[in-house]
Structure 1
Amino acid sequence: MAERPTTSWRRGIAEEAEELAAGTMDPECACMAGLFPEELLTATDAVLDVFETELPGLVEASDERVFVVVERVILALNAVNEAHNGNAFETDEREELCDYIDESLTEHGVDVVALTARRGLGRYQLTDKWRKW
């Protein structure tokens, strides 16, 4: 099962906190909690919760239906990003979110390569039409 990026981000925050508490990390090098405040994590999880509820219905769905679900999750993530001054998702986070969407669709029976090809897109262009982050 695809791992939510927020799970990985929370794990990184916890590991950094442990290193700080143990004195094995210089506090000036700590950045995870600043990059991923709880408000951002909670908002991102709320978006992914909705996305995940829609996945089981995509097994036999039309291309249009799948693209509607992708558009909806991307627009919601755009709103999260905007709520954080357009700085919520940096390059690594963008890639993690896009990979998560792709993997989740694939796990629920969507052939992402074929889906995007039918629209004249490459696999990794699935979210490009709507993504602002």
Structure 2
Amino acid sequence: MTERPTTSWRRGIAEEAEELAAGTLDPDCACMAGLFPEELLVATDAVLDTFEAELPVLAEADDAQVFAVVERVVLALNAVNATHGGCAFETDEREELCEYIDQAITEHGVDVVALTARHGLGRYQLTDTWRTW
């Protein structure tokens, strides 16, 4: 399965902590822990856990069912973002989350290009209808 963005974010936090401990990173340049507080990571992982639990049925799902799964994960991520003052997910994080959703459903048998085209959307507009982050 495609790697969750939170896994990458946690890895970045750990690498930064190692650099700080080794003295190879100026503390004024450290930002990962501030960008990704544990409560944000836990909340995001909870949303992604629920999303991943829904993925196995997508290969046999119709368009409405696939879009319903995408809508649920996006609305849940909207709630996480709102809980963190509307700034939990910056541009890079937004792109990572959208790519993760796209890849995860693709890995479970959904042709995202065909799905979005049938509904007059570009491939990278899969989450746009519901996304506020």
TM-score, structure 2 normalization = 1.00
Aligned length: 133
User: Alpha-carbon deviation of 1:126?
Assistant: 0.3
Q: Find out whether 1:120 has 2:120 as its counterpart.
A: yes
Deviation digits for residues 7-46 of structure 1, max 9, x if unmatched? Answer: 0000000000000000000000000000000000000000
The root-mean-square deviation of aligned C-alpha atoms, in Å, is 0.3
- Which amino acid is 1:113 matched to? V
Deviation digits for residues 94-124 of structure 1, max 9, x if unmatched? Answer: 0000000000000000000000000000000
Equivalence for 2:31:
31
* Unaligned 5+ runs, structure 1: none
Distance 1:21 1:99 in 2: 33
- Which amino acid is 2:106 matched to? T
Give % identity: 82
Equivalence for 2:93:
93
* Unaligned 5+ runs, structure 2: none
User: Alpha-carbon deviation of 1:48?
Assistant: 0.1
Q: Find out whether 1:109 has 2:112 as its counterpart.
A: no
Kindly report structure 1 stretches of 4+ aligned residues shifted beyond 2 Å. none
